[in-house]
Amino acid sequence: MTSVASANVPAFRENAYCKHLLRELRSDHAGETGAVYIYKGVLAVTGDSEMRAFAEEHLQTELQHLAFFEDWLPACHQSNLIGIWRIAGFALGAIAGLMGQRMLGVTINAVETFVVQHDQQQLDYLNAEGNADEKMLAPILVHFQADEAKHRDDAAARMSKLGLLSRAWQKLVGVGSAAAVTVARRV
């Protein structure tokens, strides 16, 4: 279980982080909100015990990630579109849940593939350009990235050979994830 205390991240200091990193952290907060609601959407529509177990397990991890950002990142730096991220996440999860086990795997794999790449871009920035305070965030971001990679791989194990519809859905989810991050960085 990840917590602010176990992450050894110092208390947020307003002037310690550049605008670029604050935008990235805002997108992380939005993304964790969306992730929580993806799994809530799945749980709302499926009675399949295997899909429910998958969603419940992943939901617990995403709730921990979201708790970190909500506890550590001041509200003025969090996304102002939380309602939209909740609705979008819930809708994506519900759609995936209704489409069944395989498409749930395709959906989560697409989201988490994007997230792992996004996290890596943030870590690359911290390593290359981050100041001492910013670099102290790296261990928690590495931990979160490992969790997301586990979710990606868990989802991939549920996928079978992808047909045209599955590949199109995977692409759409990836593009949607990238668009959401672009918006969340600004608002």
Contact 155, 164 (CB under 8 A): no
pTM of the model: 0.92
Q: Which residue has the tokens 């890596």?
A: 120
Contact 138, 127 (CB under 8 A): yes
Per-residue pLDDT of the chain (187 residues; tens, 9 = 90+): 445 444 578 889 888 899 999 999 999 999 999 999 999 999 999 999 999 999 999 999 999 999 999 999 999 999 999 999 999 999 999 999 999 999 999 999 999 999 999 999 999 999 999 999 899 999 999 999 999 999 999 999 988 777 898 899 999 999 999 999 999 999 9
Of 160, 172, 134, the closest CA to residue 23 belongs to: 134
CA distance 18 to 50: 43
CA distance 151 to 58: 7
| pLDDT confidence of residue 4 | 45
| pLDDT confidence of residue 109 | 96
| pLDDT confidence of residue 7 | 56
| pLDDT confidence of residue 10 | 80
C-alpha distances in angstroms, 3 versus 63, 84, 129, 155, 180?
Answer: 11, 26, 26, 25, 26
| pLDDT confidence of residue 162 | 79
Contact 7, 68 (CB under 8 A): yes
| pLDDT confidence of residue 2 | 43
Of 58, 64, 46, the closest CA to residue 112 belongs to: 58
| pLDDT confidence of residue 28 | 97
